[in-house]
Amino acid sequence: MNPTGKVTYISLSADDPAIDAAFGTAIAAVRAELGKSHALHVAGETRPGHVVIDSSNPADARQVVARVAGAGEADLRDAVAAARAAFPAWSARPWQERVAIVERAAEIVRQKKFELSAWLIFEMGKNRVEALGEIEETADLLAYYAGQMRSADGYVLQMDRLAPTDQNTSVLRPYGVWAVIAPWNFPYALLGAPIAAALLTGNTVVCKPSSETPLSAVKLTEIFEAAGVPPGVLSCLPGSGRVVGDGLIAHPDVAGVTFTGSYDVGFNQLYRRFARDFPKPCIVEMGGKNPALVMPSADLAQAIQGVQRSAFGMNGHKCSACSRVFVHRAVADEFIAGLARAADAVAPGDPLDKGVFVGPVATRQSYEDYQRYVALARTAGASVVRAGAAVLTDGARAHGYFVRPTVLADLPPDHPLLRDELFVPIVAVQVVDSLDHALAAANDTKFGLTAGLFSREPKEIDTFFERIEAGVVYVNRAAGATTGAWPGVQPFGGWKGSGSTGKNIGGHYTLLCYLREQSRTVCQ
Ligand code: NAD
């Protein structure tokens, strides 16, 4: 816990009697609700939906966590039409009222944090610290954005005059209907935050969660509704990427989009296709291939812990996960041996248990990907695999997606495992001869999300900041070499193939991405 008493991503545990008791109560309450059906929330009403999406528990894939109504094309049309119809009134409302609604939503998230965390553990397999961290982050993101709106005074600025009779004002105004498309790895934070940003700035929203985590979106929509978001201003459309995601992108009345997810979908299927007749704002937050650089002056224990937490924490399911390490030859043997020991020490288990560092990987797809990558590594050479590289099917792990954190070393430099985002607990270590060499290798990727350096040389730290191509960078961070950003603390976003705006989320400039400027001159 940090000094505020809040569990965040840099907390080492949530081991506290009050937290244990609250989790115990929440987990029991959620167990009693498992498998229930949830309706669609479209245009201010609930509906049975077009299909049913079964959300299952990755720790025991036989268990259905929730049966969530999924949207079809007619639901999509109705949701966009309702958002369009609601836009004039919502955008005309005093910004202070929108701030109050989003702040209420943040407060409800805080009040329900143990219940929502328990649902998240069942739906996605996060451990207690990660689940509680995400719910706290969601509340903080909402509150932070509300605070940004307030401190910008609604983004109305008096400008200079060219003539004494002129009155000149700059006003930032919303675009209209905003689509929010979210991934499964932070299903509350990465759906809730863009919804809040769009609503605060006066846009209306149609959102689509991942089909892997549809329940999170239902819960969040209910919270925004309870906080006072009027009918039609926010609709939620669980459903496939092809029908709902693509349908939103193609809809002419969708004025802007925030997508968080993979490069392939975000860039190839969305960014390149979204604008048709004229430019439209397209915020795509995508993947990473995040490097950690370890130099001879590093505190190796700190570096090993930092990489272990970033590569294996949440099973590598973070866009910021550390997936490549460039270690200086002088300390390489010691570092690799230490990291392999740290990987071997991780015992994946039931994420509901309080001491568990990692649970199952979150999806069937991740489980299959992991096995495919391990096979590729083995084909690359017997000495490549230094730790892990096995699935776990014993005892209580028989029906879940449990895998061993894996360390690879000495892959050929052009190997796909060093190039592609893996998104599972596999980290590849490469030996380098200098910081120059490490920086060149680290930057040799289409991605540019996060990066970390371990060094006690001030000159190396300066060079790293100057030359690394990434939007979020850390030095000597044992709590996470490349992971663990927090709203208002480390604004989070990517360069190059990791993000489109050059402005990070949870930061000072986020809301500007949802607004367009109107310069107003009145002459007397
Ligand atoms: P994904 O790209 O497969 O899916 C993301 C969302 O897009 C889902 O809701 C999906 O249904 C939808 N979608 C799929 N096809 C679509 C289409 N043709 N049109 C519109 N929408 C479509 O990603 P994922 O597997 O859910 O999430 C993991 C990815 O997200 C990783 O690459 C990770 O790095 C990235 N991510 C990035 C950030 C960030 O802030 N940069 C944060 C979290 C996750």
List pLDDT tens digits, range 417-472.
999 999 999 999 999 999 999 999 999 999 999 999 999 999 999 999 999 999 99
Give, using CA atoms, the residue closest to atom 8 of ligand 1: 210
Is residue 513 flagged as an active site residue? Answer: no
Give, for ligand 1, the residue of 55, 191, 283, 319 to mutate: max count of ligand atoms closer than 8 Å to Cβ: 319
Length of the chain: 524
Report which secondary-structure segment, H or E, holds 473.
strand 472-475
Among the residue ranges 9-18, 168-177, 259-268, 394-403, the one predicted with the least confidence is 9-18
Q: How confident is the model at residue 4 (pLDDT cuts 50, 70, 90)?
A: low
Q: How confident is the model at residue 1 (pLDDT cuts 50, 70, 90)?
A: low
Q: Is 185 helix (H, G, I), strand (E, B) or coil?
A: coil
Tokens of 459: 């000159």
Q: Which atom of ligand 1 is nearest to the CA of 183?
A: 26
Residue whose entry in the numeric block shows the structure tokens 């409800």:
108
Give, using CA atoms, the residue closest to atom 32 of ligand 1: 262
Q: Which atom of ligand 1 is nearest to the CA of 265?
A: 2
Instruction: Report the pLDDT averaged over residues 43-64.
Output: 95
Q: Which of 301, 297, 299, 294 is nearest to 325 (CA)?
A: 294
How far does the centroid of ligand 1 lie from the alpha carbon of residue 79, in Å?
A: 21
How far does the centroid of ligand 1 lie from the alpha carbon of residue 273, in Å?
A: 16
Residue 163: burial class (beta carbons within 10 Å; 0-12, 13-18, 19+): exposed
Cα–Cα distances in angstroms (integers) from residue 371 to residues 73, 387, 437, 463, in the given order: 36, 14, 31, 38
At position 518, the amino acid (one-letter code) is Q
> What does the pLDDT read at residue 11?
83
Q: Which atom of ligand 1 is nearest to the CA of 492?
A: 40
Is residue 322 flagged as an active site residue? Answer: no
Q: Which residues contact 466 (CB under 8 A, 6 or more apart)?
A: none
Q: Which atom of ligand 1 is nearest to the CA of 288?
A: 34
pTM of the full structure: 0.97
How far does the centroid of ligand 1 lie from the alpha carbon of residue 70, in Å?
A: 18
Residue 42 predicted with pLDDT over 90: yes
Give, for ligand 1, the residue of 265, 267, 271, 486 to mutate: max count of ligand atoms closer than 8 Å to Cβ: 265
> What does the pLDDT read at residue 9?
86
How far does the centroid of ligand 1 lie from the alpha carbon of residue 385, in Å?
A: 29
How far does the centroid of ligand 1 lie from the alpha carbon of residue 350, in Å?
A: 26
Residue whose entry in the numeric block shows the structure tokens 């000094």:
3
Tokens of 310: 């970033």
Rounded CA separation 153/141 (Å): 18
Tokens of 388: 């892990």
> What does the pLDDT read at residue 12?
72
How far does the centroid of ligand 1 lie from the alpha carbon of residue 318, in Å?
A: 12
Give, using CA atoms, the residue closest to atom 10 of ligand 1: 241
Choosing from 319, 322, 460, 469, the catalytic residue is: 319
In the chain the domains, ranked by start, together with CATH numbers, are: 17-286+501-523 (3.40.605.10), 290-487 (3.40.309.10)
How far does the centroid of ligand 1 lie from the alpha carbon of residue 166, in Å?
A: 48
Give, using CA atoms, the residue closest to atom 15 of ligand 1: 241
Pairing of strands 426-432, 406-409: parallel
Give, for ligand 1, the residue of 130, 195, 210, 290 to mutate: max count of ligand atoms closer than 8 Å to Cβ: 210
Question: Interior CA angle at 476 toward 470 and 480, to 5°?
Answer: 70
Q: In which region does residue 243 sit, left (phi positive, over 0), alpha (psi from -120 to 50) or beta (all else)?
A: alpha
Give, using CA atoms, the residue closest to atom 30 of ligand 1: 261
List pLDDT tens digits, range 197-228.
999 999 999 999 999 999 999 999 999 999 99
> What does the pLDDT read at residue 3?
58
What's the mean per-residue pLDDT of the chain? 96
How far does the centroid of ligand 1 lie from the alpha carbon of residue 182, in Å?
A: 6
> What does the pLDDT read at residue 490?
97
Q: Considering the chain, what percentage of its residues have pLDDT values greater than 90? A: 96
Q: Are 390 and 328 in contact (CB under 8 A)?
A: no
* 205 backbone dihedrals φ, ψ, rounded to 5°: -130, 140
> What does the pLDDT read at residue 2?
59
Question: Interior CA angle at 388 toward 260 and 448, to 5°?
Answer: 30
Give, using CA atoms, the residue closest to atom 43 of ligand 1: 319
> What does the pLDDT read at residue 352?
95
Among the residue ranges 14-28, 113-127, 498-512, the one predicted with the least confidence is 14-28
Q: Which atom of ligand 1 is nearest to the CA of 248?
A: 20
Q: Are 393 and 291 in contact (CB under 8 A)?
A: no
Give, using CA atoms, the residue closest to atom 14 of ligand 1: 241
Rounded CA separation 13/354 (Å): 8
Choosing from 123, 285, 421, 460, the catalytic residue is: 285
Q: Which atom of ligand 1 is nearest to the CA of 186?
A: 43
List pLDDT tens digits, range 390-431.
999 999 999 999 999 999 999 999 999 999 999 999 999 999
How far does the centroid of ligand 1 lie from the alpha carbon of residue 370, in Å?
A: 18
> What does the pLDDT read at residue 14?
78
Q: Is 502 helix (H, G, I), strand (E, B) or coil?
A: coil
How far does the centroid of ligand 1 lie from the alpha carbon of residue 263, in Å?
A: 8
Q: Which atom of ligand 1 is nearest to the CA of 319?
A: 34
Residues near ligand 1 (Cβ within 6 A) = 181-186, 190, 208, 210-211, 241, 245-246, 249, 260-262, 265, 269-270, 285-288, 319, 421, 423, 449, 494, 498-499
Q: Which atom of ligand 1 is nearest to the CA of 499?
A: 41
Give, for ligand 1, the residue of 181, 289, 419, 422 to mutate: max count of ligand atoms closer than 8 Å to Cβ: 181
